[in-house]
Amino acid sequence: MDKDFRYYFQHPWSRLIVAYLVIFFNFLIFAEDPVSHSQTEANVIVVGNCFSFVTNKYPEGGGWRFLKVFLWLLAILTGLIAGKFLFHQRLFGQLLRLKMFREDHGSWMTMFFSTILFLFIFSHIYNLFLIMAGNMSAYIITDFMGIRNENFMKVAAVGTWMGDFVTAWMVTDMMLQDKPYPDWGKSARAFWKKGNIRIILFWTVLFTLTSVVVLVITTDWISWDKLNRGFLPSDEVSRAFLASFILVFDLLIVMQDWEFPHFMGDVEVNLPGLPSAHMQFKVPYFQKILKEEYHIHITG
């Protein structure tokens, strides 16, 4: 491999630094943002509508409750089907011909976002029924979630930790297994691939750190304001820049993948935390809609 820009951009050290900086930046913005301590009701566009539609603001009558549950279940089902067959296969696969969405690649991500879209759409359809009924304004679905910003930010911080740390830990696992940079970390890679050390360390570190982080976030055991004491002061502008850095770094994690942008090559590494590179499972029902057999492996 020539030592050009791509060599250094996708170097294991570059990938590890970016992956773990995202974790640090996310915790920093969580600690510095005053919304994390706010007692006001949380409101998030689109996501707030979906959350409120599914979890709260249920009317008293059994008929209205049935209608609401039926509509959000229908929204989820419609979102999954539309995401798989309309957006993934038709739009991305056949119309735009994006190689990264060939066959079943990227289908779960597409189905997830399409489900959010259809939950948002069906929440407004439900609002139309409430408006036509009259005297139901208290149950109108809005972007207000019915929980305090403090609690929402804790849930968001835990979710962010799970997403970012699992990503960084998976990147670490892949860097210590793969071979595009044979001169990098020889001793560490030899230790990592010895016996079941990789599997034991992967799950031990993941569960241990996750337990500690969730405990610290949910119990307010550590007060950032007492620890910080003006060391890293922030305002709205600096937090906006920090949020933009997080977005850029998340994109960099994807761009630094060795198979970017098509993700067409099979990476010769075992699945994270597992002893094999492939997984297969069969679906006993709905074979007319679903595939009879699914094959899981890493392509990038």
pLDDT of 46 above 90: yes
H/E stretch holding 250: helix 236-255
What tokens does 248 get?
């850029």
pLDDT at residue number 267: 61
pLDDT at residue number 204: 94
pLDDT at residue number 98: 84
pLDDT in tens, 220-236: 776 666 666 666 677 78
Structural domain of 53: 45-142
pLDDT of 297 above 60: no
What tokens does 61 get?
């009558």
What tokens does 173 get?
């696992």
What tokens does 264 get?
């067409």
Q: 85 and 212 share a domain?
A: no
- Residue 268 pLDDT level (bands cut at 50, 70, 90): low
What pTM does this model have?
0.79
pLDDT at residue number 100: 79
Which residue has 């007492």 as its token pair?
226
Cα separation, 281 vs 262, in Å, equals 25
- Say how many domains are in the chain: 2
Q: 195 and 290 share a domain?
A: yes
pLDDT in tens, 111-163: 999 999 999 999 999 999 999 998 888 999 999 999 999 899 899 989 998 88
Q: Could you say which of 142, 177, 195 is where a domain stops?
A: 142
Span 62-81, mean pLDDT?
Answer: 95
pLDDT at residue number 32: 81
Q: 87 and 224 share a domain?
A: no
